[in-house]
Structure 1
Amino acid sequence: MAAGEAVTLQLGPYAGCVGSHWWGLQAAAPPGPAELVAGTLLRAAGGREESRTPRLIALELKGGVGSLGRGAVCPEAPAAWRGDVASYVEQPPAGGASPRDRGQRMGDASSDGKSSSGTSLQDATSAPAQLDVSWDVCSGSSMQVWSDYLNVQLHPRSIYVIQQYNHNGESGRLEAFGQGERLLQEHGCVEELEDRLHFYVEECDYLQGFQVLCDLHSGFSGVGAKVTELLYDEYSGKGILTWGLTPVIHNMGDFQKNFYRLMNTVLGIVHLSSHSSLFCPMSLNGSLGLKPQPPITFPYINYDASLNYHSSAILAAALDTLTVPYRLCSSRGSMMHLAETLNFSGRKVAAAWASVPFPAVNGHSLPDVLHAYQQDLPWKPLSSCREQNVSCCFAQSVVLRGISKEGHTSSCPGKQPTSPLHAFETAEQILQQYSHAVFPGAFSTFHVLEQPCMTRPPYPCFFFSTADQTRLPPGQTYQLFCSSC
């Protein structure tokens, strides 16, 4: 049986940044036989398999969708009905009909109406210009909001704009956890969210569960707390994987904003994890606490930590690999299986590590590369936590992408292996041996994909060659090695 479907919810501006890159990675996937099921994240637009849109609900603030407009919304083809059609016409009451009677939906992207809790996409945005895919795009200087680098079409019901709070400005900001909680207690907002959820869920053949991308540092952590509670109550038994996202924080001098950020983060972790099957914070910050720490650095990436466009791209690539176990064509697992694997003794909070890109060198096999990292691990933390400690790892899911079959071994027949890793033939066996040596006693699952994570503009061009430190051009592929425990 093929992998089931998942509904994705993006809650907040930075979640939108990560999501934009993530959907771009799906669009960059090469045609032909694939190792991952596209239908897990994408739906057939208008019933056409060749045209797909994300199965997505994105909550944004007023002014936060930027240039996203009619061109970014995929029109739905009318349903094909081959049976007889009978028409019944009823005259409206005197004084005209209400928006609901006219078939319009409050806060829907395809509606012309407005409400206190939402607005139509057409009212909130203008038609976007054609994206010029070039090296200038990858600089990130002109990228202000996530819709500036969204290169896929969305369903009309994907964008839900919250009118009570502003994306920019000093007033009317969604700053506190409690504000977000109260927002999702309003009947109109909850009803609209439920309608959109039902639309996507009802068209799924087999719903695995929900992926929640939520801003952890702002009032959207409160929104996420109520959203996950709603999902937990309404869809019992379905997986809920929540990724708490935080951009790189620079202004640490404002005490009030710093206090809000810390409280939102703490309350968000507690509430989001309680109603999720698995919760994983993801950020390139060195720390989420009051004491600032420099952002995470990668040996083969030269990124600007001040640009959400850059930092979110790294998290999106890692997220695309971390979610591999329940998107495989071989269907060896599901969202609930992944959550149960990492839920050690009921602990729902996990941490993520990634090597972006994986330090594979031409002419060197996988055992050669891993043998060089016996002490210094090849991946970096993505959860703003301390470096990985052997005694703290109870279970992990390891995914390696972009390694061909001929790169698994390097020992010649009859030759003494240079290390225990060189004695194994398959990549899974090599990873298993390496993991058991580094993390003895940890329960581990392994997945190796020959197809790499493909990147295409507007994904940033911040990768560098390992040999001469020159910038790699668009269209290159990169290996990824991700772990969570």
Structure 2
Amino acid sequence: MREIVTVQVGSYANFIGSHFWNFQDELLGLADNPESDDIFNNHNLDMNVLYRSGETHQGIPTYTPRLVSVDFQGLLGSVSSRGTLYNEAPASPGCVSTWTGGVTTHSSEPLKKNLFLESLHLEDEAVGNTSSDSWKNGSRSEIQDKDIVECLENGVQYWTDFSKVHYHPQSLYELSGLWMDIEDFNNYGFGRDVFSGGLRGEEINERLRFFIEECDHAQGIQFVVDDTGGFSGVAGEFLENIADEYANIPVLLYRVSPDTSIDPKSRKQTISRNLHDVVSFSRLSALCKLVVPVGLPSLSRSRTSSFLRVEDEKPYHTSAVYASAIHSISLPFRMEQLGPSAQSSYTCGAMSVNDLVQILAGQSRQNIISILDVSMPAPSFTGYPAQQSLLENLQPLTPDVAEDAEDFQAVESMTVHGVYRAGRQRASITEVKDAVQAAYDNAVTRPKFSHLSVARCPLPVPLPFPSIFGNLIGQHGELLDTPISGPASRGSLEVHSIPMAARLRSSNAILPFLENRLGNLRKFGIARGALGTELLRNWGFGKDELEDIGETLSKMFTTLNPYSEESSDSD
């Protein structure tokens, strides 16, 4: 086995994770359904890479994500942190033997399940009901899919509101006893203190240890962190412990941010946000093998959303796009490994997390930061213009990336899956490889090295996926010549799957990203009389540590800068 353990730290990271696991659950369901498309029945993906098998105390088999999720207490909505499969009761306050006085319990009513979660609950009840007629005639039939879609589109508050996955009792960890609003949990220093306070760090580490120690051979840790506030500090301390305990397991870090286009209310908030961004990026990138910044200031106004209808103010919307890209780029990690002479008609290009790290961060540059691009949906292969448009349609989900950057030392890894050829037929593995090669042959610049992974299985669109598809997207994700009449936004009831292309690349196109953060550190944190010096000191960062952060960023910039000698002289 080559297992992956997934870690999600922070609310927005869990929004992304909720969509990601919905995709996996949908793939599992389609693979078991004999009426599904043959591509889903034979997707050649080893789901055991992401999932663990177990059983309840009653001997009932379970299949749950190998996941550790960390979030603020109270942000699980109507879902219990213990999950629903194992029925473990919480410890009773009355069991405290050192207290002899009376005990008064104050408890609030649990939140009511929305229509989607209620429908899942009824389905679970039906599975245990021996009477199929009672299931068919039960209340589940009264909950219509269109009502569920409408409920989610207008009412998602928590990431659990649209999660269709069962979680293990060790998976969901709530940060309790903070005595602060989540709006105040807004900087790296707070998060660092929270992880170290009490037993929180030890308890979170124990959750991870539970999943890693049962692995035969863990190929990596897929780590997603909400980088907009204190959760990045929590993640930094967590990653330090991971580096100490599991030095041989590579960490692939997705540093995610929701819509950041809203201007801060004051100059102090602007400085705080910029310095938090710098400190967080520097600290987190130093603790992983590869870091991928994800999150555009406005996803809806980017070229990524050419065929989408995303509402930036809804994390439910934006996280769906980012989760789709992460699903696509991580497909090679769970493609079934075949012998050197064996070939599959469904997948090719399998690799491990460490293989990806060696491709992108193990070159002569020793670069650890990568750009994530996506094409959603990916265009069909119908001739030279469309072949070329595959590369043109790949748009960055990483902020502050230079357009049309020429880098002859660039390296990249691309995944293409579920795409079409002429006649709206699924393209074969060979056809995709030939089309991608033709696109590179006709490109103005091409990378020094590229790795291609291909799967015929598209991205499945589960019921709780948001209505973000435009009316030029067909039922199976094909791009149409004329728009479909009706609402401008379409969802899972109209679009059932999507062809995708995603790419990770190491390129000097990331230089503006590094330059902006290095400039903010010097301006607000290091320069004589800088306005943010006292703020950083309160976060626990002294002058020497800030200079180390500046050196690290400067080295990363110089490594990728084609004029590095001139740049280092000028510094």
TM interval, shorter chain, is: 0.7 to 0.9
Residue 247 (1) aligns with residue 258 (2): yes
| CA pair 157-372 structure 1, distance change in 2 beyond 3 A | closer
Query: Which amino acid counterpart does residue 9 of structure 1 have in structure 2?
Result: V
Structure 2 matches for 1:78-477, cutoff 5 A? 126=111, 128=113, 129-131=117-119, 134-138=145-149, 140-165=153-178, 173-186=184-197, 188-255=199-266, 256-285=268-297, 294-295=301-302, 297-330=304-337, 332-343=350-361, 344=363, 345-360=365-380, 365=382, 367=384, 369-372=386-389, 377-392=392-407, 394-403=410-419, 426-435=431-440, 437-438=442-443, 439-464=445-470, 465=473, 466-470=480-484, 471=490, 473-474=492-493, 476-477=496-497
Residue 43 (1) aligns with residue 52 (2): yes
- 1:176-224 superposed Cα distances (whole Å, 9 cap, x missing partner): 1011112222351121112111111121121112111101111111111
Mapped to 1, the partners of 2:337 and 2:456 lie a distance apart of 14
Mapped to 2, the partners of 1:124 and 1:436 lie a distance apart of 63
- 1:275-327 superposed Cα distances (whole Å, 9 cap, x missing partner): 1011001113259xxxxx95554221111111000000000000001112211
Query: Which amino acid counterpart does residue 374 of structure 2 have in structure 1?
Result: A
1:67 Cα offset (Å): 1.6
Mapped to 1, the partners of 2:413 and 2:355 lie a distance apart of 11
Q: Which residue of 2 aligns with 1:7?
A: 5
Q: Which of 17, 33, 50 is equivalent to 2:42?
A: 33
1:455 Cα offset (Å): 0.8
Equivalent pair of 1:427/1:448 in contact (CA under 8 Å) = yes
Equivalent pair of 2:83/2:169 in contact (CA under 8 Å) = no
Q: Identity rate of aligned residues, in percent?
A: 22
Q: Which has the higher helix share?
A: 2
1:373 Cα offset (Å): 6.1
1:430 Cα offset (Å): 2.6
1:250 Cα offset (Å): 4.1
| CA pair 133-69 structure 1, distance change in 2 beyond 3 A | farther
Q: Between 393-402 and 445-454, report the one with greater CA deviation.
A: 393-402
Equivalent pair of 1:11/1:214 in contact (CA under 8 Å) = yes
- 1:397-424 superposed Cα distances (whole Å, 9 cap, x missing partner): 11101036888999xxxxxxxxxxxxx9
Mapped to 2, the partners of 1:124 and 1:12 lie a distance apart of 25
Q: Which residue of 2 aligns with 1:416?
A: none
1:385 Cα offset (Å): 2.6
| CA pair 251-368 structure 1, distance change in 2 beyond 3 A | closer
| CA pair 96-312 structure 1, distance change in 2 beyond 3 A | closer
Q: Which residue of 1 aligns with 2:527?
A: none
| CA pair 207-49 structure 1, distance change in 2 beyond 3 A | farther
Mapped to 1, the partners of 2:442 and 2:370 lie a distance apart of 21
| CA pair 179-369 structure 1, distance change in 2 beyond 3 A | same
| CA pair 96-12 structure 1, distance change in 2 beyond 3 A | closer
Mapped to 2, the partners of 1:165 and 1:406 lie a distance apart of 57
1:64 Cα offset (Å): 1.4
1:150 Cα offset (Å): 1.0
Structure 2 gaps of 5+ residues are 32-40, 89-94, 100-104, 120-142, 339-349, 474-479, 485-489, 506-571
1:440 Cα offset (Å): 2.3
Match of 1:333, SS? coil
| CA pair 349-76 structure 1, distance change in 2 beyond 3 A | farther
Mapped to 1, the partners of 2:240 and 2:451 lie a distance apart of 29
Match of 1:59, SS? strand
Equivalent pair of 1:166/1:174 in contact (CA under 8 Å) = no
Mapped to 1, the partners of 2:109 and 2:68 lie a distance apart of 16
Equivalent pair of 2:255/2:292 in contact (CA under 8 Å) = yes
So what's the TM-score if we normalise by structure 1? Answer: 0.78
Equivalent pair of 1:247/1:308 in contact (CA under 8 Å) = yes
Equivalent pair of 1:217/1:262 in contact (CA under 8 Å) = no
Q: Which residue of 1 aligns with 2:509?
A: none
Mapped to 2, the partners of 1:149 and 1:278 lie a distance apart of 30
1:258 Cα offset (Å): 3.6
Query: Which amino acid counterpart does residue 75 of structure 1 have in structure 2?
Result: Y
Q: Between 273-282 and 45-54, report the one with greater CA deviation.
A: 45-54
Residue 484 (1) aligns with residue 504 (2): yes
So what's the TM-score if we normalise by structure 2? Answer: 0.67
1:69 Cα offset (Å): 2.5
Query: Which amino acid counterpart does residue 141 of structure 1 have in structure 2?
Result: N
Equivalent pair of 1:61/1:161 in contact (CA under 8 Å) = yes
Mapped to 1, the partners of 2:45 and 2:451 lie a distance apart of 17
Mapped to 2, the partners of 1:382 and 1:166 lie a distance apart of 35
Match of 1:467, SS? coil
Match of 1:35, SS? coil
Mapped to 2, the partners of 1:74 and 1:313 lie a distance apart of 26
1:72 Cα offset (Å): 4.4
Equivalent pair of 1:21/1:150 in contact (CA under 8 Å) = yes
Q: Which residue of 1 aligns with 2:63?
A: 52
- 1:333-390 superposed Cα distances (whole Å, 9 cap, x missing partner): 2111111111142110101000111122xxx53755223567xx11111011334434
Match of 2:324, SS? helix
Q: CA RMSD in A?
A: 3.3
Structure 1 gaps of 5+ residues are 78-94, 100-113, 115-121, 288-292, 411-423
